[in-house]
Amino acid sequence: MNLLAVERIKLFSTRSPWWCAIITLALTIGFAAILAGASSADTPIALSATQFGGSQFGIAVVMVLAALAVTTEYRFNTIRTTFQAVPHRSPALIAKAVVVAVVALVIGEIGAFGALGLAMLMRPNDGLGLHSTQDWLNVAGLGPVFAISAVLAMALGVLIRHSAGAIALLLIYYLAVEELVQIIPKVGHHIHEWLPFNVANKFLRGSAVVDGPAPSDSPLSPGWALAYFAGIALVFLLVALGVAKKRDA
Can you give the pTM of this predicted structure?
0.92
Residue 3, pLDDT score: 85
Question: Percent of the chain at pLDDT above 70?
Answer: 96
**What pLDDT does residue 224 have?**
94
| Residue among 101, 110, 116 nearest 65 (CA) | 101
Let me know the angle formed at the C-alpha of 21 by 52 and 72, rounded to the nearest 5 degrees: 125
pLDDT at 94 over 60: yes
Inform me whether the pLDDT recorded for 160 exceeds 70.
yes
Do you know the residue count of the chain? 249
Q: Is the pLDDT of residue 208 over 80?
A: no
Residue type, 202: K
Q: φ and ψ at 175, to 5 degrees?
A: -85, -20
Quote the pLDDT of residue 249: 59
Angle at 246 between CA 236 and CA 78, to 5 degrees: 85
Please check the confidence at residue 78 and state whether its pLDDT lies above 80: yes
User: Average pLDDT of 103-127?
Assistant: 92
Instruction: Dump pLDDT digits (tens) for 161-187.
Output: 999 999 999 999 999 999 899 999 989
Average pLDDT, whole number, for the chain?
Answer: 89
